[in-house]
Structure 1
Amino acid sequence: MDFIYQCQSLDEVREQIDRIDQALVALIAERGLYVEQAAAFKNSTAEVEGGKRVDQVIRRVTRLAGELGADPELTAAVYRTMIGHFVASEMKLYQGRQTPL
């Protein structure tokens, strides 16, 4: 981390956490929009499930966590949960495209 604000009170700590939560939720929402776009390019359930890609992402974020001072196990767990949700959402979109009208 380049700079961490040195809080002078619990209220200041909570303000910083709330600021970070706002940014994290916005980034999760943005990531979800890209996942929706990705679904349009996939042609099979195997592509939607993306086992190899999931492994690549988990390895990358685990490495990044170590570099940035985050807990690698926590980071990997958060990403596995997030990716699991996004894969399920993507699968619904994919299956919806497969249903004949």
Structure 2
Amino acid sequence: MDVRCTSIEDVRSRIDHIDQNLVALLAQRGQLVAQAATFKKTSDDVRAPARVEQVIAKVRAIASDTGASPDVVERVYRAMIAAFIDEELKLHAALSRE
């Protein structure tokens, strides 16, 4: 998608709109991660390194197909996945104590 802006204000406004959508999508992803914790038996199941690599390969391909930088997308996803794993581990531990 080739978006042409006419001013820095236009650029910032469009970025703000994208950020609004990204945060809403992160909230949805977080809700699904919380649900996933209920299906996992161990903390190793939560960490799931093979699944992480599967997701990374998938999003790198999506990045290539959409004109995004695969390296940037990978870095963002690795940070996001690490944060979600931390949250899921806390939830999983709490569920295990119940």
Q: Which of 48, 59, 67 matches 1:69?
A: 67
Residue 60 of structure 1 corresponds to which residue in structure 2?
58
**Aligned length, in residue pairs:** 98
- CA-based RMSD of the aligned residues comes to 1.2
Cα distance, 1:5 vs structure 2: 3.8
Query: TM-score w.r.t. structure 2 length?
Result: 0.93
Residue 20 of structure 2 corresponds to which residue in structure 1?
22
**Residue 43 of structure 1 pairs with residue 41 of structure 2:** yes
Cα distance, 1:11 vs structure 2: 1.1
Structure 1 stretches of 5 or more lacking a match?
none
Aligned structure 1 segments of 4 or more residues deviating by more than 3 angstroms: none
% of aligned pairs identical?
44
The amino acid across from 2:56 in the alignment is I
- Distance in 2 (CA, whole Å) between partners of 1:10 and 1:90 is 39
- Distance in 2 (CA, whole Å) between partners of 1:11 and 1:92 is 40
